[in-house]
Structure 1
Amino acid sequence: MADNRCTVLIVDDESGSRQLLRQILQDKYRLSFAASGIMALEAAKSVQPDLILLDIIMPEMDGYEACKKLKAIPEISDIPVIFISALTDTTEKVNAFKSGAVDYVCKPFQSDEVISRIETHLKLYNLQRHLEKQVEIEVNRRRMDEQMLIQQSKMAATGEMIGAIAHQWRQPLNSLGLIVQDVEEAFEAGEVTKDYLKQSVSQCMGLIKLMSHTVEDFQNFLKPSGRQDTFDVTEAFYEVIHLFSDMLKKNDICVRINTPETCRIYTTGYRNELKQVILNLINNSRDAINTERKKGVSVKEEGLITIDISEGDNNVVARISDNGGGIDDSIADKLFEPYVTTKGKSGTGIGLYMSKAIIENKMNGSISVSNIEGGAQFTINLPLVKPDGELQ
């Protein structure tokens, strides 16, 4: 039958004291013994006791030093130590607690007192270990949830990329089809010449090169930034608008960017991650505008997304506004929480959550949302830096 009792390590250079403690404790606990501070360190590492009873006055290494050394060893540093000593001076007790002990029992002692103090600190120690285990489990669970959210966010972004690439490829693919069809008709009519073939091949290669550049642009967009960089915030916005301009036109959405004409506005952070946030916010505005149109109330001939970028005393402020009807008050306060969405069953509820995480953790900034007349406005605050990366 397994012995599930707690283990107590008794450290005392006097055999009589060790024997007395054995008689008191052997029925309730598994016991291990050490006759010096040096032996105590080895025994603690090998036995891994649940609690240590430690004398102060011992040869070679006293109890204070032994306790300090025990607390310096990571794998046993949490084990509670109770001093048992004939020293009754307050200074000795204070030194004991300073060395890392949790309690102090004076000799001569009562059996019930020793057992009571041991039981109290074992309960506290086991509770601490249980809480640490629960925290570890919770941290691991949240880490897994975070990884899952990141993966879902990447999949959502990949879906947007594929849709945008397909839209941008449609025209060059149509042009390639027309060129091939023209070559076939010219061949049947006996009109194929060397110059004609050269011109047709050149046109095809130009279109293929354009399509290849499109793929490279989107690959670079999805690639995580390897390191922090100093970059122009306005440029990042323009790059996203350029990549997704066809998608916005297809949805009859106009994007206006208002920026200072006389200067560039720099921040430091992860450029591609910020661009993913910009895309998330633009997509959110696009979906809000399209949802508002489907309601049939105040139908808009043209959706409008307005981006205002300005420079504060020590920060960059980017406001993304739309005319998509605004955000329901019931979810406005928790919009950046995971799985909260404005899109009903069609939304994943991770885009804005990941956007907040990126802005706060990758860009050292903040993001908020509010309703404005006819729509919603997201506000991003980022650190303002000089072109060399130094804070303003």
Structure 2
Amino acid sequence: MNNCILVVDDQPINVRLLDVQLKAAGYTVLPAYGGQEALDMVNKHMPDIILLDIMMPGMDGYETCRSLKSNPKTAGIPVIFISALTDVNEKVNAFKCGGVDYICKPFQRDEVLSRVSTHLKLYFLQKSLQQQIDAEIAKRQSREQLLVQQSKMAAMGEMLGMIVHQWKQPLNAISSTAQDLEDAFIHNELDKQYLHSSVNTIISQTDFMLRTADDFRNFLRPSKAKTSFSVKNAIEEVISMFSPYFAKSGIAINISCSGDDFSTTGYPNEFKQVILNLINNARDAILTHPNNPKAAIDIHITAMAITIRDTGGGIPEAIIGRIFDAYFTTKAPDMGTGIGLYMSKTIIETNMGWRLTASNIEGGAEFKIVLKE
């Protein structure tokens, strides 16, 4: 298909001359004899380039060009001004309102064809690059959505495991109480006080399980908007929920805070998920580190940063630069997805506007969330 050129000039002789020259070069030409007519033609036919006169009755070339550039649908179409005005201020105005080039009348055929050809090439190159960029953005967004979904599924799997762990003790207590009730009935030991005590035990354990379920449900619910929250409180909530899970593995979690507790603005539930990801990774490192004299995770909070240190032996130098890459993991396929640290970095740096780094310290690794430089 031939490239389409809109020629706009209130003088028919100029339009006819350009029409002949451009058609002879293989272009399709659309004529317009005023600014408003040009806008109507553009909306109907979407030309590839516009040759635009300046001095026209009603809507002049400058106003026409500004109108084209204010419309996202037509803003990208290159506009070459062709005018008898030779003052440098007129040329400056032409470029200011969105023109890509300026040809003085009387124009020369070869000059017009050369500039049209050049700007068409630039226009289609720009369109091609934009299409590639749009395709890459769409691909990346699709990939990000997949990673987010996988991260959520992995988090839910971990949550279910932790809920099961949290519920084992109350379920055992309820089961034991029910058996005691049956035994008491068989041996005629069941009286009002015994029944009342057993019911209270069952209700207490059931309430604990309900609170645990609510805590986990709230933990997994994404924050819809940035809010002000206490960093220390958020971390303590995570530790309170999951400390029994870590204690079962013989790992102590210590929290310290320099100065007064402070608040920040961000997505508190997503922040909690990052903290859980980091301490879970620390736990895995500690459990796989042989001859570990101290199994501990230390969390230090300041107004500038949150530092999480473990005694898991550190990160091998050969891979430390890759640990935040999507799908990168050193764990067995059934032990890790390779998206936890990637999503943590995305949440902290893209969503929160902070910074997440990793480094080795003596005997372990250090992850730092930098809130203020």
TM-score (norm 1): 0.89
- Aligned counterpart for 1:67 among listed residues 65, 68, 74: 65
Cα distance in 1, alignment partners of residues 135 and 85 from structure 2 = 43
- Aligned counterpart for 2:317 among listed residues 323, 329, 348: 329
Q: Which moved more, 1:177-186 or 1:281-290?
A: 177-186
In structure 1, the partner of 2:300 is 308
- Aligned counterpart for 2:11 among listed residues 11, 14, 18: 14
Cα distance in 1, alignment partners of residues 88 and 194 from structure 2 = 105
Q: 1:157 corresponds to which letter in structure 2? A: A
- Report the CA distance between 1:90 and its aligned residue: 3.2
In structure 1, the partner of 2:249 is 251
Cα distance in 2, alignment partners of residues 73 and 228 from structure 1 = 33
- Aligned counterpart for 1:343 among listed residues 303, 320, 331: 331
- Report the CA distance between 1:110 and its aligned residue: 3.0
In structure 1, the partner of 2:344 is 355
In structure 2, the partner of 1:387 is none
Q: Which moved more, 1:107-116 or 1:44-53?
A: 107-116
- Report the CA distance between 1:184 and its aligned residue: 2.3
Q: Which runs of 5+ in 1 are unaligned?
A: 294-298, 385-392
In structure 2, the partner of 1:296 is none
The 8 Å contact of residues 12 and 36 in structure 1, kept in 2 or not, is answered as yes
Cα distance in 1, alignment partners of residues 17 and 30 from structure 2 = 14
Q: Which moved more, 1:105-114 or 1:370-379?
A: 105-114
Please give the residue correspondences for 1:273-284 in structure 2 after superposition, counting only pairs within 5 Å.
273-284=270-281
Q: 1:232-260 CA distances to partner (integer Å, 9 max, x unpaired)? A: 32222221111111210121111122224
- Cα 1:183–1:134, aligned 2, differ >3 Å: closer, same or farther? same
The 8 Å contact of residues 36 and 61 in structure 1, kept in 2 or not, is answered as yes
Report the secondary structure of 1:338's partner residue.
Answer: coil
Q: 1:376 corresponds to which letter in structure 2? A: A
In structure 2, the partner of 1:318 is 306
Q: 1:88 corresponds to which letter in structure 2? A: T
Aligned identity (percent) is 50
The 8 Å contact of residues 305 and 372 in structure 2, kept in 1 or not, is answered as no
State whether structure 2 residue 353 is matched by structure 1 residue 364.
Answer: yes
Q: Which moved more, 1:175-184 or 1:158-167?
A: 175-184
Q: Which moved more, 1:193-202 or 1:16-25?
A: 193-202
The 8 Å contact of residues 255 and 306 in structure 1, kept in 2 or not, is answered as yes
Cα distance in 1, alignment partners of residues 212 and 122 from structure 2 = 62
Cα distance in 2, alignment partners of residues 88 and 344 from structure 1 = 73
In structure 2, the partner of 1:377 is 366
In structure 2, the partner of 1:144 is 142
Q: Which moved more, 1:206-215 or 1:69-78?
A: 69-78
Q: 2:32 corresponds to which letter in structure 1? A: A
The 8 Å contact of residues 329 and 337 in structure 2, kept in 1 or not, is answered as yes
In structure 2, the partner of 1:159 is 157
State whether structure 2 residue 196 is matched by structure 1 residue 214.
Answer: no
Q: Which moved more, 1:333-342 or 1:141-150?
A: 333-342
State whether structure 2 residue 257 is matched by structure 1 residue 268.
Answer: no
- Report the CA distance between 1:128 and its aligned residue: 0.9
Cα distance in 2, alignment partners of residues 251 and 281 from structure 1 = 16
Report the secondary structure of 1:76's partner residue.
Answer: coil
In structure 2, the partner of 1:240 is 238
In structure 2, the partner of 1:177 is 175
Report the secondary structure of 2:275's partner residue.
Answer: helix
Q: 1:82 corresponds to which letter in structure 2? A: I
- Cα 1:322–1:65, aligned 2, differ >3 Å: closer, same or farther? same
Cα distance in 1, alignment partners of residues 331 and 149 from structure 2 = 20
Cα distance in 2, alignment partners of residues 30 and 362 from structure 1 = 49
State whether structure 2 residue 288 is matched by structure 1 residue 291.
Answer: yes
Q: How many residues align?
A: 371
The 8 Å contact of residues 252 and 302 in structure 1, kept in 2 or not, is answered as no
The 8 Å contact of residues 331 and 340 in structure 1, kept in 2 or not, is answered as no
For the aligned residue pairs, the C-alpha RMSD in angstroms reads 2.0
The 8 Å contact of residues 54 and 83 in structure 2, kept in 1 or not, is answered as yes
Q: 1:97-151 CA distances to partner (integer Å, 9 max, x unpaired)? A: 2222111223333323222211111111111111111111111111111112211
Q: 1:295-353 CA distances to partner (integer Å, 9 max, x unpaired)? A: xxxx125511111223xxxx332211111110111221232222223435332221112
Cα distance in 2, alignment partners of residues 81 and 88 from structure 1 = 18
Report the secondary structure of 1:225's partner residue.
Answer: coil
Q: 2:10 corresponds to which letter in structure 1? A: D
Cα distance in 2, alignment partners of residues 74 and 145 from structure 1 = 28
- Aligned counterpart for 1:100 among listed residues 94, 98, 101: 98
